């Protein structure tokens, strides 16, 4: 997942600026408009940088198995990342195929 300046969206570049303070779904800490925040559609909430790190650490250690909410959020983010990666690869493959098709058209 690539961070936006204040909000995460897929596809990249579809960024929304927050103008209000929100509370982190994981930690309960306040997230200010200038802070990096991660969005979860599953819970319609923001997750702070610290909350994001907590979820990733729990996944790395296997502790995420004990928290179904964190599992859902991690699964959502993973699926979005994979989707974005697949779209990027498809775009790159199509662009390369087109460049090969166009190769030599200006040759005499």
Selection from 33-47, 57-71, 72-86 with the highest mean pLDDT: 57-71
Rounded to an integer, the average pLDDT of 5-34 is: 74
- The SS3 of residue 55 is helix
Tens of pLDDT, residues 65-102: 999 999 999 999 888 877 666 666 666 666 666 665 65
Angstrom distance (rounded) from CA 16 to CA 64 = 29
Mean pLDDT of the chain: 78
What is the model's pTM? 0.67
Alpha-carbon distance values, 82 to 58, 65, 86 (Å): 20, 21, 6
Domain layout of the chain by residue ranges = 22-102
Angstrom distance (rounded) from CA 1 to CA 11 = 10
pLDDT at 6 over 70: no
């Amino acid at each position: 997942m690539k961070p936006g300046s204040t909000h995460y969206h897929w596809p990249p570049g579809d960024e929304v600026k927050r103008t209000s303070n929100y509370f982190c779904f994981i930690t309960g800490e306040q997230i200010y408009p200038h802070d990096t925040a991660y969005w979860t559609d599953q819970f319609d909430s923001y997750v702070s940088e610290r909350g994001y790190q907590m979820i990733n650490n729990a996944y790395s250690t296997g502790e995420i198995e004990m928290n179904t909410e964190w599992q859902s959020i991690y699964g959502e983010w993973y699926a979005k990342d994979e989707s974005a990666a697949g779209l990027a690869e498809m775009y790159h493959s199509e662009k390369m195929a087109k460049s090969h098709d166009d190769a030599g058209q200006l040759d005499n």
